[in-house]
Chains A and B, each alone.
Chain A
Amino acid sequence: MTQELQADALVRLDSAVKRFRTPEGGSVSALDHVDLTVGQNEFVTLLGPSGCGKTTLLRCISGFEDLDSGALQIAGRAMAGVPAHRRPVNTVFQNYALFPHMNVEANVGYSLAVAGIGRDERRRRVREALALVNLEGMERRKPTQLSGGQQQRVALARAIIAKPQILLLDEPLSALDRKLRQSMQLELKNLQNELGISFVFVTHDQEEALTMSDRVVVLDEGRIRQIGTPTEVYHRPASVFVAQFIGESNIFAARVTTVDGDEARFETAEGLSLIGRAEGVAPGDQVSLLLRPENFDLLAEGQTLGPRAAALDAKLEQELFLGTDYHLIVRTQPGDKTLKVTVRDADRESVSGIAPGATLRLQYSRHRLHPLRG
């Protein structure tokens, strides 16, 4: 699949480097030899903590920043020295950047107006674009007379009206409240399918990244930590950083004791003995182990272990009710390692005597325990 995408890559970054000077006089790498391709009609998310270089990467593609070294191609054309207004990309800005002195119609039709397209056609296409984002009839309003969600839609309509080959979105949903954000996520995804153009979406919200993307690019300190589908980066993170950044995680430092086929035994630093996948590990290796909170189940008294499961004992410290789930904070016995455990409401009901201080028996799926390097 990766090969296929590279063949007709719409955006291709080769060893892109961008450095910024810090106020102290030093320099910091915003992009450190980044290789990335974006395919036709692909939804790629750049995910990372603030300052990881994701916005810089976007700005390099849109043409607001120059690369210090490396190459950028868009649709087969080298972009070095091509100014922003001649690139086949449009951007949805984080703060929307709507022109306050223009009404919605003028804002949305801006790219057509500067391209010299006549008034009638402009009108018609503005109406179409507004229909795409469900804002019919708002042409005469000023940006200040719109809600945050509506402004967001105007920004979106303005960016897609000229039919760019790539739409860049710089944390466009970060200013919206949770409910609105979730419905906009869906709409964006649908819009991308409808338009058939590539989206490069920047976010620091891992949930957003997992929900919407075809591929997720995890960035940290200017370097790509992992590129993969949402399931890949969630279930098979390439490093402890990725595991911790995406989703909730329990990480153990451990040593491989024995390897038996595709399973291995691990001895954690706390003295726990765990069983999990033997992915490229050999006895004696030092690894980190990942177990997601939802990989645990509560074992009722007398209940036998499931197939391919292993068990450990833990003391309950605290429990939080989250609606569909319970979130438990437990300490392993022995080892006294704090773990996060998520159990279904129904599962919790089936086990009696759950109270802070009680000892619980937890089982985990052995094939969900991943050894990580680094």
Chain B
Amino acid sequence: MERSLASRRRFLLYGLLAPVTLFLGVFFLGPLSIMALFSLLEPGLYGGVEWNFYHWNFGRILGWADGLIEEYDPVYMGIFLHSLELALLTVVLTLVACYPVAFWISRLPDRWKSFFLFLITLPFFASLIVRLYAWVMILKPSGALNQVLQFLGLIDVPLEIIFTERAVITGMVYVMVPFMFLPIYASVEKLDRSLLEASHDLGATRTQTFLRVILPLTLPGIVGGSIIVFIPSLGNFIVPEVLGGAKVMMIGNLVEQQFLYARNWPFGAALAMMIMATVLLFMMAYVTLVLRRGDDDKSVTV
């Protein structure tokens, strides 16, 4: 049978898409559906679930509690909002750190560019846990940072950094910098320098050029980087675990506790669903808000 070119092309396309579709279907959609289902089931007495509809998992977080066993306690909502705050702060700090650096590196000669890009990705070569314990070494009262500051005479008593929120933020920013940097760099690198010259030539000051040309053209990178940093930041539990000690708890730690220690899978699942819903909402709001000016065919490439 003869097949037209179009149908051949379609055949090829489906063939190439099939493996990844199958993979995501089995290993992403499957577990996700299980979690979504569990979040609406009654927790079993010794772990696992009872197959009864049970909305109090979400109630405990959002404001209606099972009045028989417990009163509503806003502690979960507090942890949740606080995690949100930390995640947003991480996004802002990594953005501020990466944006100028991306410009600087993009203006370097090629071989220096590759060298600095290598440096940016260098942390990926070592295990995250090892790197975080290195931060413990740096930030602890007798650690490198305090010793240097004391040696310079800037402080008398070691600073209390480790196991505080500052340590968690430092660690989160440290972990997320490459994820913010790479999308921003990609869009900055694409920026045509002659556009900046054209802008100056047409009478725009540096600030005007930044606001009218540079910022809009690098916005896709900023949006992409922010999303990639925000998502894992909100659900992060390793960084607060290692650097926050017992004092800082983020929503990720709470989920981890519910699954591993409290063995309340439905409640953990409900918390995880909350994280996902928030991420989705923020992403949608952010993308529509920031890119509303690109009112036409241009779509964000994340």
Listed in ascending order, the chain A residues whose CB lies under 8 Å from chain B are 62-64, 83-86, 89-91, 93, 95, 97-101, 110-111, 113-115, 142, 158-159, 162
Q: Is B5 positioned at the interface, with any CB of A under 8 Å from its CB?
A: no
Q: What separation, in Å, do the CA atoms of A43 and B2 have in the docked complex?
A: 63
Q: Which 4 pairs between the two chains have the least Cβ-Cβ distance?
A: A111-B202, A97-B198, A97-B194, A114-B204
Partner of B208, one of A62, A90, A93, A114: A114
Q: List 16 A-B contacts (CB under 8 A).
A: A64-B197, A83-B200, A84-B201, A85-B200, A85-B204, A86-B203, A95-B192, A99-B195, A99-B217, A101-B217, A101-B298, A110-B202, A111-B204, A114-B199, A114-B203, A115-B203
Q: What separation, in Å, do the CA atoms of A101 and B205 have in the docked complex?
A: 19
Listed in ascending order, the chain B residues whose CB lies under 8 Å from chain A are 192, 194-195, 197-205, 208, 212-213, 216-217, 294, 296, 298
Q: What separation, in Å, do the CA atoms of A100 and B214 have in the docked complex?
A: 11
Q: What separation, in Å, do the CA atoms of A93 and B203 have in the docked complex?
A: 15
Beyond A62-B201, A84-B201, A114-B204, whether A97 also contacts B296 by CB under 8 A is no
Q: What separation, in Å, do the CA atoms of A98 and B195 have in the docked complex?
A: 7
Query: Is A90 within 8 A of B217, CB to CB?
Result: no
Beyond A101-B217, A101-B294, whether A95 also contacts B203 by CB under 8 A is no
Q: A83-B200, A113-B212 are in contact. List 10 more A-B contacts (CB 8 A).
A: A84-B200, A86-B203, A89-B201, A90-B202, A95-B192, A95-B194, A100-B195, A114-B202, A115-B203, A158-B202
CB distance from B44 to the nearest CB of A (A): 55
Query: Is B205 within 8 A of A85, CB to CB?
Result: yes
Partner of A142, one of B203, B208, B296: B296
Chain A residues with CB under 8 Å of B204's CB are 85, 110-111, 114
Query: Is B201 within 8 A of A91, CB to CB?
Result: yes
CB distance from B172 to the nearest CB of A (A): 32
The prevalent SS among residues of B at the interface is helix
Query: Is A162 within 8 A of B203, CB to CB?
Result: yes
Q: What separation, in Å, do the CA atoms of A364 and B212 have in the docked complex?
A: 62
Q: What separation, in Å, do the CA atoms of A356 and B293 have in the docked complex?
A: 68
Beyond A64-B197, A114-B208, A114-B212, whether A97 also contacts B203 by CB under 8 A is no
Query: Is B195 within 8 A of A84, CB to CB?
Result: no
Q: What separation, in Å, do the CA atoms of A336 and B30 have in the docked complex?
A: 87
Query: Is B203 within 8 A of A101, CB to CB?
Result: no
Q: What separation, in Å, do the CA atoms of A256 and B136 have in the docked complex?
A: 91
Closest A residue to B213 using CB positions: A99
Query: Is A90 within 8 A of B201, CB to CB?
Result: yes
CB distance from A94 to the nearest CB of B (A): 8
CB distance from A307 to the nearest CB of B (A): 55
Partner of B197, one of A84, A98, A115: A84
Query: Is B192 within 8 A of A97, CB to CB?
Result: yes
Q: What separation, in Å, do the CA atoms of A2 and B212 have in the docked complex?
A: 43
Chain A residues with CB under 8 Å of B294's CB are 101
Q: What separation, in Å, do the CA atoms of A98 and B192 have in the docked complex?
A: 10
Chain A residues with CB under 8 Å of B217's CB are 99-101
Q: What separation, in Å, do the CA atoms of A86 and B205 have in the docked complex?
A: 9
CB distance from A109 to the nearest CB of B (A): 10
Chain B residues with CB under 8 Å of A85's CB are 200-205
CB distance from A121 to the nearest CB of B (A): 16
Q: What separation, in Å, do the CA atoms of A142 and B295 have in the docked complex?
A: 12
Q: What separation, in Å, do the CA atoms of A91 and B200 have in the docked complex?
A: 10
Chain B residues with CB under 8 Å of A63's CB are 200-201
Chain A residues with CB under 8 Å of B200's CB are 63-64, 83-85
CB distance from B103 to the nearest CB of A (A): 18
Partner of B198, one of A83, A93, A162: A93
Closest A residue to B194 using CB positions: A97
Q: What separation, in Å, do the CA atoms of A63 and B296 have in the docked complex?
A: 35
Q: What separation, in Å, do the CA atoms of A111 and B205 have in the docked complex?
A: 11
CB distance from B35 to the nearest CB of A (A): 40
Query: Is A111 within 8 A of B203, CB to CB?
Result: yes
Q: What separation, in Å, do the CA atoms of A86 and B204 have in the docked complex?
A: 9
Q: What separation, in Å, do the CA atoms of A83 and B204 have in the docked complex?
A: 10
Chain A residues with CB under 8 Å of B194's CB are 93, 95, 97
Chain A residues with CB under 8 Å of B197's CB are 64, 84, 91, 93, 97
Closest A residue to B197 using CB positions: A64
Chain A residues with CB under 8 Å of B198's CB are 91, 93, 97-99
Chain B residues with CB under 8 Å of A101's CB are 216-217, 294, 298
CB distance from A115 to the nearest CB of B (A): 6
Closest A residue to B192 using CB positions: A97
Q: Which of B192, B203, B204, B216 has the most CB of A within 10 A?
A: B203
Chain B residues with CB under 8 Å of A83's CB are 200
Q: Which of A63, A95, A110 has the most CB of B within 10 A?
A: A110
CB distance from A90 to the nearest CB of B (A): 6
Closest B residue to A62 using CB positions: B201
Q: What separation, in Å, do the CA atoms of A111 and B298 have in the docked complex?
A: 24
